[in-house]
Homo-oligomer: A and B are copies of this chain.
Amino acid sequence: MAKTRLDLDRIRAGRRAIDPMFLDTPLFPCDTLGRVLGCAVSVKLETANPVRSFKARGTELVASGLLDQGRTAAVCATAGNLGLALSWSGRRRGLDVTVVASRRAPAAKLDRIRALGTALELVDGDFDTAREHAAGIARRRGVRLVEDSLDVETCEGAATIGLELAEQASRFDTVLIALGGGAMATGVGHVLKALAPGVEVVCVQPLGAPAMTRSWRERRVVTTGSTDTIADGVAGRSPIPAVLDDLLQVADDAVLVQEASIIAGMRLLLEHAGLVVEPSAALGVAAVLEDPGRFAGRHVVTIVCGGNVDLDDYHRWVAR
């Protein structure tokens, strides 16, 4: 079994702390999309819930853990989806949540965070700037800093997707996972390597935000000076060493895709599955588009991980 910071028993037990609304999400074949891509394709849909992403699986674990410890507040930096999910999980439990995000994050994400009554602080700069700012708040106020991918609950929450996939593992060959900080990739990968080692775990990142993929390839942390991608949910510059160590244990591959492929992927998911998704959720389809020979004849599952997108941006990208 892969030696990571994650624990299979804890992941299984964790399911009980997660609102069932976020569990057992749809997994369904999409034949006409598969015909376009030259392989069988199934979608694991993580957007049909009140926060429209998989992140609540993790924040449910975080928030219930905080309650168990008698703590009443938390702060996180976010590209958007973690903050939205933590806001939801925190509100349900009466926690005082502060979220820090880049002023450039999609309005759809920021508006939805505000709509949950969360204290939202915006910073100039990118996600890594927000991370520093959130850390400062946590220090000053003495509250829990929730760090996506570093905090093992965020990975083990995402790993519950892996449990659901493992039950169907006889039916597919490859899972395509959007790679950003690494919580979803290490989580799902950990479970599949344990329960369905025959399934290939392929991580997908934008060429414009390649830090974690380069790190995985070079087996050491590689940071980048900036990011340039519409896939805001996975646009980090500074991989976390402990997460990279885990990823090295569970990922079979990590690939980079172009922006045009991400947009084409979003368009295909709309046309063939009726899904409006954020760019990060189209990374898997983009990977098949860029290397169809590699996936030909295989059955791939792509995790549609988020649907928080500004509709104006979406229409501009997807309209032909």
Contact = CB atoms under 8 A, between A and B. Distances in A.
A274 B271 contact: no
A307 interface: yes
Given A21-B28, A26-B48, A31-B115, 11 more contacts: A24-B24, A25-B26, A26-B49, A28-B48, A28-B49, A28-B50, A29-B50, A48-B48, A52-B274, A270-B311, A276-B276
A229 B114 CA distance: 38
Contacts of A129: none
A47 interface: yes
A249 B49 CA distance: 33
Per assembly, the copies of the chain total 2
Given A45-B48, A48-B45, A48-B48, A307 B28 contact: no
Interface centre among A28, A30, A276 (most CB of B within 10 A): A28
A303 B112 CA distance: 23
A100 B52 CA distance: 37
Contacts of A308: 274
A32 interface: yes
Interface residues of A, number: 30
Interface of A: 21, 24-32, 35, 43, 45, 47-50, 52, 112, 115-116, 270-271, 274-276, 307-309, 311
Given A21-B28, A32-B112, A112-B32, A47 B311 contact: no
A114 to B, nearest CB: 10
A39 to B, nearest CB: 16
A116 B32 CA distance: 9
Contacts of A30: 50
A32 B115 CA distance: 8
A165 to B, nearest CB: 14
B47 A31 contact: no
B28 A274 contact: no
A48 B52 CA distance: 14
A112 B31 CA distance: 10
A281 B209 CA distance: 38
Nearest to A30: B50
A31 B45 contact: no
